[in-house]
Structure 1
């Protein structure tokens, strides 16, 4: 925030665009009421808090899977709830949103929340809608639960070398430094 004011993130600054993009898009394109959007936001918050309490939403702790992956999961759950998904379908959408980001590194170029963060936010928003759509064609029964994916994300994050956890020393950040020199 260039003005130095307060910002609200959902769940983190590195994943700032996923959930707001989905809620804004669905509110405008589907004419969902503010009340329905707020309920979807509450649903998203429940899933985000489960991750925060049982693992992490910090790129410095578990890599970008904890930021963009969790944001995708939250947005998928919100979208599923908005489209009338059953509790099982909502959980499945959230599970897919996180599962398909497992192992994602946090490697911001120049230490700024811009590259690759902005593009990752856009892709995660699209994935959230895909997870919602996929889960809507099922009865919600699936092999891996959301809780299990949260546990796997936590372990995967702990297994990641520190250079892939918001240090600017690995991945794209390191490659950019080499390219610049």
Structure 2
């Protein structure tokens, strides 16, 4: 139950809803309807590795000669954290104590060379740590409400375990296609 749902509960606001067993007269202390929201790990967070693969270039067909496809990443490719679509709007990014960052940007040029008849493209493997978090609302007059857990996916510091790679043939898709593993 959200704290804002208690605004119409006059004259008593029973903080048993907040995990406490006492009541506070709202008319005497309306500040009891105020709360702060934080994001916290759900237990130890159950961390695990996940990877997001994304095709960065169009498919280049080499035809009768060698060809090269490249991607300069210094300003155009950033990796950021993700949350489940149904996560509460108050949920903020936290590192959870893991070797992760809120965003990460690459700064190198990568290229792949194909032989005659090849199709070639450049892909990026972004390494993430996924962990469970909860929105926690702390009542000013006591009590706490915790949301259901949500998975937060944060890029690993320096993309540890990820990187760019070349793909050839029919495994090339369309630019910006992606999948998670």
Instruction: Tell me which interval the TM-score lies in, with the shorter structure as reference length.
Output: under 0.3
TM-score normalised by the chain length of structure 2: 0.25
Comparing both structures, which one devotes a greater share of its residues to helix?
Answer: 1
Structure with bigger gyration radius: 2
More strand by share: 2
